[in-house]
Amino acid sequence: MENLNSFGFLLPVLLVFGVIVIIPFLQSLVYSLTDFGGYDFSTAKWVGLDNYRQIFHDKTLLSGLGFTLLYTLATTMLITAVALPLAVVLNRKFFGRNFVRSAFFFLSVPSMVVLGVVWKYILSPLDSGALNMALRAMGLEGMPWLSNVNLAQGCVIFIAVWCQVGWHATLYLAYLQAIPNDLYEQAAVDGANRRQQFFNITLPQMVPAMGVSVFMLLTGGIKVYDLPFALTGGGPGTATLTVTQSIIQTGISSGRYGLGSALGVVFFLCCCLLVVLQQVVTKAIERRLS
């Protein structure tokens, strides 16, 4: 009976979810099996799995998939590795603590597109680029920041980490403040130093927070579009092309809804797989630590 009641509460949300996620997904599934051009579905022809075959033979799309995975894994690992210690530092008492907390959090407020445009000027590969001018003022050579494959990929990942780390540190901070102080006091009485306290108290207590943060980073990372698009437009070549940009370019802008939908379906399944994997790993870690 209680389950039925809970279901009653969930029903409105499920209805909305069904209308804005399930129905469009099923629609995409049907489109992906046709050559629908986005105008008149009655004229579309059934093409079977041709669109799916095309995806796995198109170098550009595969390149987009490669960078998206690199971006997702790199940002998730780097942000987690930096945000957690940062949250511990921000949790300590020091002069100007609130200002520093706000400053880190503020980086996540502006839109990624705005940040991309600003950083495009800073990282311009020309000698007149802000960073290259600073390097030259120090007697160093300018660098081709956005016109070298590896540097461009590194720049996109760096900016993503730079602007998101404060937000995730704030998330960790909220969980940190919920850890009872008694635990640290008892550990201190037992002679545990700060490092031991971090690894034996803070880190295990933070696993649920890490689960939430990693989940958001993975899902946000795999859907990334705005920052690489504003900063590099997917270039140089296809070095920073993302799956979402490919879906828009190949599917929507060129009127190939069938192909774009197939890409969307594959992308959706990849997202589901990644999220399930993440949940399984997080639950396993939680079980082990508890």
Partner 1 sequence: MSVGESVSKVVGRCPERKGKEIIMRIGRSIVAALSSIAIMASMGACGSANADEGTLTFLGNNNQNAYQGLLDGFEKKYPDVKVKFSTVTGAQSGYQETLQTRISGGKLPDVYILPPEQLSDVVKSNLAKDLSDESFMKDIGQTSRDMYSQGGKVYGMSVSGWVRALCFNKDLLAKAGYDNIPATWDEFKEMCKKLKAAGVTPYLEASDTIGVPIPAWIAQASAENVKNGKKTIDQAIADGDTTFEKAYTPYYAKWDELFKEGILNSDVSGLSAESVVSEFTSGRLAIMPSGSWDIPTLSKTGINFEYGTIPMLKKGDTPYAEGSPDPAYAINAKLSGKKLENAEKFLAYVASPEGLKAIQDGLGLATATESYSAKVDPTFQNVYDTYIKTGHFYMQFLAEGAMRPEGYTQMQQLALGSITPEQAGKNMDEKYATLR
Instruction: Rule CB under 8 A: choose which of 91, 108, 113, 144 binds partner 1.
Output: 144
Q: Which stretch binds partner 1 (CB under 8 A): 22-30, 98-106, 226-234, 276-284?
A: 226-234
**Hey, how many other C-beta atoms are within 10 angstroms of the C-beta on 114?**
12
x-or-dash pattern for partner 1, window 91-120, by CB under 8 A?
A: -----------------------------x
Figure out which of the listed residues 233, 275, 278, 285 binds partner 1, where binding follows CB under 8 A: 233
If one asks whether residue 121 binds partner 1 (CB under 8 A), the answer comes out as yes
Binding of partner 1 by 37 (CB under 8 A): yes
Contact between 152 and partner 1 by CB under 8 A: the answer reads: yes
The yes or no reply on residue 176 touching partner 1 (CB under 8 A) is no
The smaller minimum CB distance to partner 1, of residues 73 and 149, is found at 149
Rule CB under 8 A: choose which of 103, 180, 237, 273 binds partner 1: 237
Minimum CB distance to partner 1, residue 133 (Å): 12
- Which residue in 100, 235, 278, 285 binds partner 1 (CB under 8 A)? 235
| Least spacing, CB of residue 25 vs partner 1, in Å | 18
DSSP string for residues in the chain: -HHHHHHHHHHHHHHHHIIIIIHHHHHHHHHTTB---SS-GGG--B-TTHHHHHHTT-HHHHHHHHHHHHHHHHHHHHHHHHHHHHHHHHHS--TTHHHHHHHHHHTTSS-HHHHHHHHHHHT-SSTTSHHHHHHHHTTPPP--TTSSHHHHHHHHHHHHHHHHHHHHHHHHHHHHTTS-HHHHHHHHHTT--HHHHIIIIIHHHTHHHHHHHHHHHHHHHHT--HHHHHHTTT-STTTT--HHHHIIIIIIITT-HHHHHHHHHHHHHHHHHHHHHHHHHHHHHHHHH-
Q: How many residues bind partner 1 (CB under 8 A)?
A: 44
Residue 2 is a binding residue for partner 1 (CB under 8 A): yes
Interface positions with partner 1 (CB under 8 A): 1-2, 5, 8-9, 12, 37-40, 43, 54, 57-60, 120-121, 124-126, 128-129, 144-149, 152, 232-238, 249-250, 252-256
